[in-house]
Structure 1
Amino acid sequence: MSALVLLTPDAPDGRIADPEAPQLLVTDLGVVRGDGIFETLLAVGGRPLQLEAHLDRLASSAEALDLTLPDGAHWRAAIETGLAEFARRHGDGEAMIRLVGTRGVDAAGPPTCWVYLQPVPAGNRELRDRGLDVVLLDRGYSSEAASVAPWLLLGSKTTSYAVNMAALRYAHRQGADDAVFVSSDGRVLEGPTSTVLIARTRDGVRELVTPLLRSGILAGTTQGALFATAEPAGWQLGYGPLTPEDLIGNDGVWLASSVRLLAPIRSVDGRQIPVSAELTDELTELLLTATRR
C-alpha cells in the first residue's frame, strides 16, 4: 500500500488522500503537456535522505519553468505527514518518496502538488549486488546545447520523461539493464534516471570523476552527497569532460541515484569492466555518512 498527501490552497501543509482514488483532472497541464517537475528520494527509518538537496533542486527546476510552487516548509510538512501515514501502513520499511508539482489546470495557477510514498522496489538491491549491463545511447544534441538553447530545460527535472523511459525500454530490448546517454560530440552525459560516477587511480592518487554539469545534465544529489564526504576521506574530485572510452579500464564505474544509491556497471556495450564489491561498499558507506547528517 502506498500513501498520498495533496498540497492544496486550503491545506498548504498537505492532507492525506486516498492513493487508490482519482485525484487529477484530465485537463491538468502536467498530464496533457508534461508541464511540471518532480523529485524522487529515499527515506530510511522514517528519515528522508538528502531532503534539503532535493528541495533545492525542486526549487531550481521550478524557477527554470517559471512555475510557482509551495515553499520548502510546506513540502517538509507534507512529507512528514506522508511518512507518518506510510509508517502506519508499513512500519519502518524503506520508502520511495516522489514530490510532484505541475502547472495545474490553468497556466495562471494554482499548481497541482502532491507527495507520494511507496515501498522501494525489490529489484533495486539485486541490481546493486550483481551490477549493471548498460548500452550507450546518442542523446541527439551536443554537450553545448544547454548553453545555446536554455528553453530545452536541460538540467531540470521535469515530468516530460517520455524520452528517458523510451531509452530504458530500448536498453531492455537490447538485453541491458540501463543506459548511458552520450552527446553528439562524443561526451558522456548521464543515465536516464542516474548520474555517472567513475573511480580511477592516477600516480597513486584516487579520483572520483563525474561528467561536466554544464554539458546539460541534471545535478545529481547522490553524487553531490558522496563528493562532500569523499574529499575529506582522501579522494580527489573531478568533473569531466568524459568520453565513452573513459568508462573502460578504471577501478569502477557506477550509476548513482537517490533510491538505488550506487549501482556498479559491469559491462558497457558488451565490454566487461571491473567491478569491486569492496570499493562499492567503501563509497556507499561514505555516501550514507553524508546522508545521515
Structure 2
Amino acid sequence: MPTLVVCAAPVAGMPGCRAELVDPDAPIATATDAGLTRGDGVFETVGVHDGRMHDLEPHLERLAQSASMLDLPAPDLGAMRDAIALAVRSLLESLPATPPTALAKVVYTRGPEHGPQAGRPTGYVYADVFPDVTRQRTEGVAVVTLTRGYPHAIGAKAPWLLVGAKTLSYAVNMAAERHVKALGLDDAILTSTDGYVLEAPRATVLVRLGDEIVTPAAEGGLLHGTAQRAAFESFTARGFACSYRDLTVAELEAADHVWLTDSVQLLRPIRELDGRMLVVDRGLTDGVNADLLAAG
C-alpha cells in the first residue's frame, strides 16, 4: 500500500508547518490547483534502496533551485525532509519485507488559482515500491535517440522555457517514453537540433571515452543528476577522469560504453543504441552500482 503525507504550510517561514500522514485515496488538492491545471510546480523523486534513502539533500537542494526558477515561494526544506522521512518510514512499516527499491516523490505546486487558498502552495510526498530493475542494471537497455526540438544551450538564451528546472510539465518526457515503448525499446536519449546530447526523459547520460567519463554540462540547461554525482565519485575512485562538458552525438556514437543513471534505477548500461549493439561492461557497472547502494 503506497503512503501519502501532506505537508501543511510548505512555504519557508509560514507558521503551522507539519507533516501529516493521510489516506492515499484522500483528496488533497482542489480542481483549480495550478499544478494540475497548468503543470505549474516542481517535484523530486528520492530513491529508497534496501530501506535507505539516497541523496536526500541534493534532491532537496534541487527542489529549491527549481522552485526559484519558477518564482515559487521558497519551500520549507525542513518540512519537506520530515514529510519524506514520514512517508518512507510508513511505507516500509506497512510491508512484510523491505523492498530492494522504493521511491518517495515530493511535489510542490503554486496552489489553487481561486478561492480562499489562492496562491498558497501545495506540498505532499507520495511513497511506493518500485518494480525490480535488476535486469536493466545487469543486461542493459535498448535506447533510441530522439530530438528535443531545440538547440543546445537554449536555456541561457530563453530562461522562460525553464530548461533545467524539474517541473511538473513532463508531458513531453512522457510522450517520448510512450513513443519508445511503442518501438519495443526501453528508453531514449534526447538530443538538440544542433547535434548535442542532452539527457534521457527521466535520467542522466554518462559516456565512457577511453579513460574519461563524460556527462553533458548542466550549464547547457540540463538537470544536475543526483545519482550521476555519486556515480562520478565511484568512477573517480576507479581511476577515471570525470568531466562535465558539451557532448556531441558523434561522440556518443563513438563511445566505449554508455549508461543512463537516476536515483531510483541507478546505473543502467546501454546495450543497444539506435539499433547498433554496444558492449556492456558488467563488472564496471556492477561495481559502480554497488558503490551507489553502499553510499546512501
TM-score tier, shorter chain, comes to over 0.9
CA deviations 1:76-106 (Å, max 9, x no partner) are: 1112211221122114323211000000003
SS across alignment from 2:232: helix
CA contact (8 A) 2:215 2:245 kept: yes
2:169 to 160, 177, 181: 160
Give the one of 69, 92, 98 matched to 2:98: 92
What's the Cα RMSD here? 1.7
Q: 1:235-246, aligned counterparts within 5 Å?
A: 235-246=240-251
Output the amino acid matched with 2:181. H
* Code of the aligned partner of 2:236: E
May I ask how many residue pairs the two structures share in their alignment?
286
Q: Which residue of 2 aligns with 1:216?
A: 221
What displacement does 1:111 show?
Answer: 0.4
Structure 1 position 118 matched with structure 2 position 123: no
Task: Provide the C-alpha distance between the structure 1 equivalents of 2:158 and 2:178, rounded to a whole number of angstroms.
Answer: 27
Q: Provide structure 2 residue ranges, at least 5 long, that are not aligned to the other structure.
A: 10-14
Which residue type is aligned with residue 177 of structure 2?
Answer: L
Once the two structures are aligned, what percentage of the paired residues are identical? 43
1:59: how far off?
Answer: 0.4
Q: Does 1:14 align with 2:24?
A: no
* 1:263 pairs with 2:273: no
Residues 103-129 of structure 1 deviation map (CA, whole Å, 9 limit, x = unaligned): 00038621010010000123x223223
Cα deviations by residue, 1:187-230 (Å, 9 ceiling, x for unpaired): 010000000001232xxxx2111112122211111111222343
CA contact (8 A) 2:47 2:102 kept: yes
Instruction: Choose the corresponding residue for 2:283, options 278, 281, 285.
Output: 278
Identify the residue that residue 4 of structure 1 maps to in structure 2. Answer: 4
SS of the equivalent of 1:248 reads helix
Aligned-pair CA distance for 1:69: 4.4
* Cross-structure match for 2:109: 102
Residue aligning to 1:183:
192
Distance 2:234 2:268 in 1: 18
Alignment partners' CA distance in 1, 2:134 and 2:19 = 31
Task: Quote how far apart the aligned CAs of 1:249 are.
Answer: 4.1
How far did residue 35 of structure 1 move? 0.1
SS at match of 1:140: coil
Q: So what's the TM-score if we normalise by structure 2? A: 0.91
Q: Aligned partners of 2:21, 2:86: CA distance in 1, in Å?
A: 8
Given the two structures, how large is their TM-score scaled by the length of structure 1? 0.92
| Aligned 1:38-77 pairs, distance under 5 A | 38-77=43-82
What is the alpha-carbon distance in structure 2 between the residues aligned to residue 249 and residue 187 of structure 1? 14
Q: For the Cα contact (< 8 Å) 2:4–2:24, is it kept in 1?
A: yes
Contact 1:39 1:100 in 2 (8 A): yes
Secondary structure of 2:134's match? helix
Q: Which amino acid aligns with 2:104?
A: I
Q: State how far apart, in whole Å, the 1-side matches of 2:89 and 2:293 are.
A: 23
- Aligned residue for 2:193, secondary structure, equals coil
Instruction: Identify unmatched segments of 5+ residues in structure 1.
Output: none
The answer as to whether partners of 1:134 and 1:268 remain within 8 angstroms in 2 is yes
Say if 2:258 is the partner of 1:248. no
